[in-house]
Amino acid sequence: MGTEPFIHLAGVAKSYGRGAKAHLAISDASFDVMPGELACLVGPSGCGKSTLLKILAGLHSIDAGTVTIGSPANPFDPARDVGMVFQQPLLLKWRSVLDNVLLPAEILGLPAAESRDRARALLALVGLAGAEEKRPYELSGGMQQRAAIARALVHDPKLVLMDEPFGALDALTREKMNLELLRIWRQSGKTILFVTHGISEAVFLGTRVVVFTAGPARMADNFEIDLPRPRTLDMKTHEAFGAYTRRIYKLLGME
């Protein structure tokens, strides 16, 4: 990881609406994400996590504070430098898996032959070699999300934003996808922001965890996760893992 933050937020606030009907989505969010981190944003529904992703993607403005991504020497263009993964894979059912992965490259007008080679390499990276010509309905839910991750990486973005990407999967598939994501992150070297409701998932995946609380929305804590890597599922039984989860439960008033 680098020595200067890739993402810097200071006093960020965002409201929807005006006057008495204004809804505070984010109140005073301040944290840094270093290059190559996998930072997890955790909190209840409606606490501003998805709004924050939209701000980082350049889709929402802010009402107060500052957001800096990249640097003058390494400028950041949200239209080109962001990859998105959502809770649902959102694959186009009439396109093959390979053509679904290629969609961002097509939209950005990237060289076709190079993009196709990169898409095939990414499908191999996410464990879908041999599935290039299948249609989405021929894939399981976990396989569809693997394709969605490959699609988010195909244009070589500097930042990958993941909004509850495994929330619709069954528990066992979700555990497998957590392990797969850690492998993909390690091999791709991307900076990832991962939104989740899952406290255990946030601690297991994250290099750091940013905790948001609701009513009114505010950032309650931001801390690094000092657990060994590569992470293994049996690590969830360790005392240090439990201490991190208890810290988050307490912040969310769940103790």
What does the pLDDT look like over 74-118, one tens digit per residue?
889 998 999 999 989 999 999 999 999 999 999 999 999 999 999
Kindly report the average pLDDT of the chain as a whole number: 92
pLDDT for the residue 255? 65
pLDDT for the residue 47? 80
pLDDT tens digit sequence for 92-101: 999 999 999 9
Q: Could you tell me the pTM of the whole model?
A: 0.93
- Tell me, rounded to whole angstroms, the distance of Cα 75 from its chain centroid: 20
pLDDT for the residue 242? 96
Taking CA atoms, 15 is separated from 23, 51, 60, 216, in Å, by: 5, 10, 11, 11
pLDDT for the residue 24? 82
Residue 20 has pLDDT above 80, yes or no: no
Q: Give the residue extent of every domain in the chain.
A: 81-157
For residues 174-183, give the mean pLDDT. 94
**pLDDT: which is higher, 207 or 3:** 207
pLDDT for the residue 195? 95
Which of 121, 106, 181 lies closest to 145, judged by CA? 181
Cα–Cα dist 47/109, whole Å: 36
Residue 224 has pLDDT above 70, yes or no: yes
pLDDT tens digit sequence for 133-155: 999 999 999 999 999 999 999 99
pLDDT band at 192 (very low <50, low <70, confident <90, very high): very high
For residues 55-73, give the mean pLDDT. 91
Retrieve residue 95's tokens.
Answer: 């396109």
Residue 162 has pLDDT above 80, yes or no: yes
CB atoms within 10 A of CB 105: 20
Q: What are phi and psi of 69, to 5 degrees?
A: -125, 135
